[in-house]
Amino acid sequence: MIRPRGGTLKNVDTISGGTYAPTTGSFIIEVAGGPIEIEIGKYGDSDGITQFSDSFAPVSLKKDGSPVGNMTGVEVDENGNVYAFFDTGISRRIFQVPLIDLPNPNGLGAQDKQTYLASPESGTFFLWDAGDGPTGDVVSYALEESATDVAQELTSMIQTQRAYSSNAKVIQTVDEMLQETTNIIR
């Protein structure tokens, strides 16, 4: 077949282990099992290897992938796996959120916007998959409970209130004693 715009071999550079035979249009490569002959075409001949060709027309198509889709949602399961859902009906695991364990969580350095940074006081952190080790599970669509012990805080508040009342009573008694002392002197 003759190509309308040409496209023929102009030159062939030889590589290690092979030679080009311009009379036959073959490239011969010497290998351990014997020579391999590859026909690439003759110089100036339009039926050899070229960079031009006919318009692309595949004989058959075989799909082995997924159709293109738009992501419609994301969910996280109790193991920290993040799943993406697509409008094609396909869901795919795209990430697993690691959970961190520290020897001393109170040694974390406070940063902006309720974030923390590991420090020498907190120790080296360890990454765990949710459900493994000492870190627990991931609970989606839930608010975390406060880490404050309400009973302990109420007890401390009552103790502080009573200490304040006692101190106020002592100050009141001292004030009354000073007034009586002042009245005796007059």
Give the three-state DSSP class for 185.
helix
Give the three-state DSSP class for 168.
helix
Query: What is the residue-level pLDDT of the chain in tens, covering all 186 positions?
Result: 444 555 667 777 766 667 788 788 887 887 887 888 888 888 777 677 765 555 555 566 777 777 788 999 999 888 888 999 999 999 999 999 888 888 998 898 889 888 888 899 988 888 888 878 788 888 777 777 777 788 899 999 999 999 999 999 999 999 999 998 888 887
Nearest to 41 by CA among 17, 23, 56: 23
Domain locations in the chain as residue ranges: 1-54, 71-128, 149-186
Partners of 62 in beta bridges: none
pTM over 0.75: no
User: CA 12, CA 39: separation in Å to the nearest integer?
Assistant: 12
Residue 80, class by beta-carbon neighbours within 10 Å (0-12 exposed, 13-18 middle, 19+ buried)?
Answer: buried
User: CA 36, CA 51: separation in Å to the nearest integer?
Assistant: 23
Give the three-state DSSP class for 99.
strand
Please tell me the chain's helix, strand, coil percentages from 3-state DSSP, rounded to the nearest 5.
20, 25, 55
